[in-house]
Structure 1
Amino acid sequence: MDLLWEPGSHKYNVSSFIGELDEILFGAAFSDFTDEMLDRLIGALRKRGNSNATINRKLAALSKLLRKAHKMGDIRGLPEFQRLKEKAGRIRFLEPDEETRLFAAIFEKSEIYGRFCIFLIDTGARLGEGIGLHWQDIQGDRVPFWLTKNGRSRSVPLTERAALALQASDRTRRGPFTSIVQAKFRAAWNEAKQEVGLGAEPDVVPHILRHTCASRLVQGGIDIRRVQTWLGHQTLQMTMRYAHLASGDLDICVPILERAARTETK
């Protein structure tokens, strides 16, 4: 684990994934990882209610681990890992009134949790990136994220309220949000969303703050390539999930078609 994954929340998730897969296989020893074992894993994960997207993430971690084991000579054979087809479902993001109500409820529980939410929604940072931010890394009105999911660092400018959210933090700690424990933050989030009437929505999780940041950039006319850079997506395909929100860009096409139609009728 220490060799293949950098410290951070992603490594924690991967460890959990691998542990679950080991449990499904009953901790069995093997010298070849067969197609039958892979099929058994996929079937078991589906029975547990995992979507194809979730299964893909778990198998990606397993594939990386097994490739390393194969390279080291610990196992002989590997199956072909084929990515399962994922549904391009609707991406949920917070409307302004939902943000106001939810953040107010979170601020009542913890002032630092409330400021953390403001920081995340205005930077698009993942939870682990925000918690891992150190004071020494902050460069004036910009923040760098070093411990990212894909291992690529990036730097984004701060909005006024995001800068204020940082400035109000305790300078005696390593970073503005390093005191936050993810499990406790998520518990407070879930309580707050119940209180404001969003408890029945499974997509209203802390990661929705990143989706909301991306959607606001696209709806505001920022091109997809810049949004990709802002979010730190490894591929443009990941950012294209938000492209449909920029439908206003298509309005400029109408005059061209109407002009062509008028020319045709003359």
Structure 2
Amino acid sequence: MSGPYRLSYQFQNASNQASLRALLDRYVDVLWEPGSHKYNVTSFVGELDEILLGAEFSEFTDEMLDTLTSALRKRGNSNATINRKMAALSKLLKKAQKMGDIQSLPEFKRLKEKAGRIRFLEPEEENRLFAAISEKSELYGRFCIFLIDTGARLGEGIGLRWQDMNQDRVTFWLTKSGKSRSVPLTERAAAAIQASERRRRGPFTNIVQAKFRAAWNEAKQEVGLGAEPDVVPHILRHTCASRLVQGGIDIRRVQTWLGHQTLQMTMRYAHLASGDLDVCVPVLEHAARVKAG
């Protein structure tokens, strides 16, 4: 093999070898349900297979893992992005080992991630962006309203079915964590749903992610946000969480609302509740006066 990532792997059993692509084709439908996460996983593993030049193996070595990590870093991937890609790889390889396709695995160690600033939309930015998107598609405009007021991921919103709604709340069944969750609806989120055609399986099921993202990017450019890489559709979920925390909702409730598996994921928004600390100042000032007296 030649190229920037020269490989020289030795296999114990040359008759029982498979590439990452082959393993993905074999187990993708078993390990991941249909939706945006499955789409992302397919893209991740496809990229890793390309880095390994389609190499077939019967054991996955530390050398191979180091090759992937190094290559992803050279491509500009952050530790957080590498962790997501390696999580998908680990899940696939563990299944392959369990089924006897490969003999051994390296230890997957999570890379340390930086706690970056979370970007969210200000009300004025929301108004401008949503207006521009609505001009392109009334359906897309309503979809944005639904996402920002429920905190749903794109795949969760598109996958919503009419039977998943009960009066003033919706239940998301196809989630990233695999666990369902129900959230109540704001008036405008409920109106965004009800304006959809009932002849379809769900209010937003005819939305194609790629086309929606294309319309989003065009609108983003039009309203002067084109230079901001963090202004992607997922910012609507961040904005929902940020508004809940800023409004005084405790972090545990926000965790439940968003469907985060761990509280640590929700704690990224905790700094926005710093206004709650104002009540501490009078206590400290009183203590200082007592001491001075």
TM-score range with shorter-chain normalisation?
over 0.9
Alignment counterpart, residue 257 of structure 2, candidates 214, 218, 230: 230
Matching of residue 171 in structure 1 with residue 193 in structure 2 = no
SS in 2 for 1:117: helix
Which residue is equivalent to 1:140?
167
Percent identity reads 85
Letter in 1 for 2:219: A
Which residue is equivalent to 1:76?
103
Superposition pairs of residues 46-65 of structure 1, within 5 angstroms: 46-65=73-92
The offset of 1:251, in angstroms, is 0.6
Letter in 2 for 1:166: I
The offset of 1:153, in angstroms, is 0.3
Letter in 2 for 1:65: L
The offset of 1:244, in angstroms, is 0.2
Alignment counterpart, residue 284 of structure 2, candidates 253, 257, 260: 257
* CA RMSD, Structure 1 to Structure 2 (Å): 0.6
Which residue is equivalent to 2:126?
99
- List per-residue Cα deviations over 1:36-87 (Å, max 9, x = no partner): 1001001111111111100000000000011111111111111111111111
Which residue is equivalent to 1:10?
37
Q: Distance in 2 between matches of 1:40 and 1:146?
A: 37
Superposition pairs of residues 174-189 of structure 1, within 5 angstroms: 174-189=201-216
- List per-residue Cα deviations over 1:101-149 (Å, max 9, x = no partner): 0000000000000000000000000000000000111101000000000
TM-score, normalised on structure 1? 0.99
Q: Distance in 1 between matches of 2:187 and 2:46?
A: 42
Deviates further, 31-40 or 118-127: 31-40
Which residue is equivalent to 2:62?
35
Letter in 2 for 1:261: A
Alignment counterpart, residue 241 of structure 1, candidates 268, 272, 285: 268
Give unmatched runs, 5+ long, in structure 1.
none
Deviates further, 18-27 or 202-211: 18-27
Which residue is equivalent to 2:227?
200
Alignment counterpart, residue 116 of structure 2, candidates 78, 89, 102: 89
Q: Distance in 1 between matches of 2:164 and 2:176?
A: 18
Larger Rg: 2
TM-score, normalised on structure 2? 0.90
SS in 2 for 1:93: coil
Matching of residue 128 in structure 1 with residue 135 in structure 2 = no
SS in 2 for 1:215: helix
Deviates further, 102-111 or 249-258: 249-258
Which residue is equivalent to 1:26?
53
SS in 1 for 2:248: coil
Deviates further, 256-265 or 117-126: 256-265
Q: Distance in 2 between matches of 1:39 and 1:249?
A: 45
Q: Distance in 1 between matches of 2:43 and 2:220?
A: 26
Q: Distance in 1 between matches of 2:80 and 2:95?
A: 23
The offset of 1:32, in angstroms, is 1.2
Q: Distance in 2 between matches of 1:27 and 1:181?
A: 30
Give unmatched runs, 5+ long, in structure 2.
1-27
Q: How many residue pairs end up in the alignment?
A: 266
Structure 1 residue runs of 4 or more that deviate by more than 3 Å after TM superposition: none
Matching of residue 220 in structure 1 with residue 247 in structure 2 = yes
